[in-house]
Structure formats: structure tokens, C-alpha cells
Amino acid sequence: MSILLMLTTVALAALATACGSDTIADDTVANIQPQIALTEVGHGNSHQAHPGHDMHLEATIVATGLISHIDVSLQQDSGGYTIDTLFAGSKYAGVRNAQLHEHIDIPADAPLGQYTMRLTVTDQQGRTLVATTSVTLAEGDGDDDDDDDDDDHNEGGSDGKDMSLPVISDQGVVANPVDCQVYHRGDTIPFCYAFSDDGELGSYNIEVHNNFDHHTHSTSATECQQEADKQPVSPWVYNRSFTIPAGRRSYTARVKIAIPAGIDTGDYHFMVRLTDRVGWQQIRSMAIKIE
């Protein structure tokens, strides 16, 4: 399906070694093309959603400044029914580039039929960037439930500004977790990764969510053995941000993360988002299993 990308007003605000975000002033970066790429709308990019279930949504966002908030709306083409979801003060705020990965709640009483989905990114200067596409609400079992792609940028610009992503590395440390690692309920994950940046590091975020529907984030070629698809009952959800000490170009992050005893077992994604001082963000995703 075609994706219409539209700019309004000017452009938008955009897009280590051994084992807690600061407010950053908006600073437009030259030679960066603001854009939104809708990489997955609905499970398997089907552009379908089902009332009473979640719609899987992924997008790559690049902006010239810093993001303020993101809004996703679905407007019924032949009626007045609208679904609005706002992501404000979230993991996307204050960065220039973002890999949006969310699940949009579709109410059980939402009418079936054709909708126009609009994803609007607003920067800290009030400028907006919009992408639209069509979505069909249809009957189904809702296999559109439940975090990203790495974009490469040239290091440094002709004006001397930081235009490169920070680095998440497993070199020189005993990295944990790694793809296909198995843990048990009640265990502690001794997170450890090395971070680096050619300018200055800023902060990082750790998120854990279930992968019971077996979606992907395209940050690793490793394939792990997976259980059959299932609906979550009491899934583990973890999301916490940490600030890196000022002035650091390299930093080894270590965090002990306790796995709750009463959660659903099965396949999970462990996501790390690293942001430098000017707002560039890098993402690394590991597939883990909890028994």
C-alpha cells in the first residue's frame, strides 16, 4: 500500500567499556532529510487490525531537531469513528531519530471497514511531520499484538555537528543478555553492555516485553527456537531509563534486573535504547526466553 509522507510548517525535530535523561536544547542539524517510514502496520504489515485487539505498528522516524510527542489516529473513512493514541513524555521524547514500536488498542466496539491512519510527529518547536496510510478493521483473532531497525549516518557533518549514532557493543565485556539466553522466573538478569559515542553519551533505556506473537525488530540475524503463539495473561513488562555521567564518550552499563516470579513464561524481547547528548539514538534487541 502506498504511504503518503507530508511535511507541514518547516520540518520536524528528529531523528563503551567494562561491567541513569538530561534536557537538551533543540539544535537543527543541516543536511538531514526529515522522514517517516512506516515499516509495519498490522501483523506482517497486513494493514489490518481487529476490534478488541492490538494493532502492531512500527515506524522509522528521522527529524532535524528533537521530538516532543507522537500521535497516532485512525479515522473511519465512511463515518465519524476515530481512535487516537498519544505518546507524550515517553521514550521517544528528546531524540532526533526513533524506532517507533507500539501496539495500538482497537476498541471492541470499533466499526469494521476502511480507516485512514495518520502518524504525526511534533518537535519541540511545534513543527510537524505526518505519514498516512490505509488500514482495514476486520473480524479476526487479533494476531496483531505487541519493541527496532538501525539507521546508518555518516560520522560528523561538514559543519562539525554530531551526526552519528552512538554504539552499543558486546566487545570487551561479558555481555548479558545475549540472543537466545534462557532465564527463570525469580532470576536476576545481570545486564552489561559497553556504550560509546564520538561526541558525548547521554542516557539509555531498557525495555522488556513479551514476544508471544513472534514479531521482530531486525537488529540481529540470530534465530532462536520459539514457542507457539499465545495470548498474554500476566506478561512481564519492564521499562526504565538511566542517565550516563556527563562528559563520557565511553561507558559500561551494569544493571541487575529482577524477573518477577508470577509472570507468563515464554519468549520475550530485551530492548536497549542508547541516546547521545544531541539526541541520536541507537537500538539493540535481544530475544530471550523465560521459563
Distance from C-alpha of 204 to C-alpha of 217, rounded to nearest angstrom: 18
Query: What pLDDT score does 101 carry?
Result: 86
Distance from C-alpha of 289 to C-alpha of 291, rounded to nearest angstrom: 7
Residue among 55, 35, 32 at smallest CA distance from 45: 55
Query: What pLDDT score does 166 carry?
Result: 93
Query: What pLDDT score does 32 carry?
Result: 62
Contact 191, 176 (CB under 8 A): yes
All domains of the chain in start order, with CATH: 4-15+20-137 (2.60.40.2550), 167-290 (2.60.40.2550)
Task: Tell me the CA distances in angstroms from 131 to 25, 60, 99, one per residue in order.
Answer: 26, 11, 14
Alpha helix stretches (DSSP H) within the chain? none
Mean pLDDT value across residues 190-216: 92
Could you report the per-residue pLDDT of 12-30, keeping only the tens digit for each?
333 333 453 333 344 455 5
Strands (DSSP E) found in 227-280: 238-243, 250-258, 266-276
Mean pLDDT value across residues 57-64: 85
Distance from C-alpha of 120 to C-alpha of 34, rounded to nearest angstrom: 13
- Burial group, residue 284, by CB count within 10 angstroms (0-12, 13-18, 19+): buried
More confident residue, 216 or 158: 216
Distance from C-alpha of 71 to C-alpha of 119, rounded to nearest angstrom: 6
Could you report the per-residue pLDDT of 118-168, keeping only the tens digit for each?
999 988 888 889 999 999 999 876 554 443 333 333 334 444 556 688 999
Query: What pLDDT score does 153 carry?
Result: 37
More confident residue, 31 or 65: 65
Query: Chain-wide mean pLDDT for the chain?
Result: 81
Query: What pLDDT score does 142 carry?
Result: 56
Could you report the per-residue pLDDT of 225-248, keeping only the tens digit for each?
889 999 999 999 999 999 999 999
Mean pLDDT value across residues 88-109: 84
Query: What pLDDT score does 125 carry?
Result: 86
Residue 285, classed as helix, strand or coil, is strand
Query: What pLDDT score does 89 carry?
Result: 66
Query: What pLDDT score does 96 carry?
Result: 82
Query: What pLDDT score does 90 carry?
Result: 66
Query: What pLDDT score does 19 carry?
Result: 56
Could you report the per-residue pLDDT of 29-50, keeping only the tens digit for each?
555 667 898 989 998 888 999 9
Degrees to nearest 5, angle at CA 193 with 87 and 232:
45
Could you report the per-residue pLDDT of 246-280, keeping only the tens digit for each?
999 999 999 999 999 999 999 999 999 999 988 88
More confident residue, 25 or 189: 189
Query: In this structure, which amino acid lies at residue 216?
Result: T
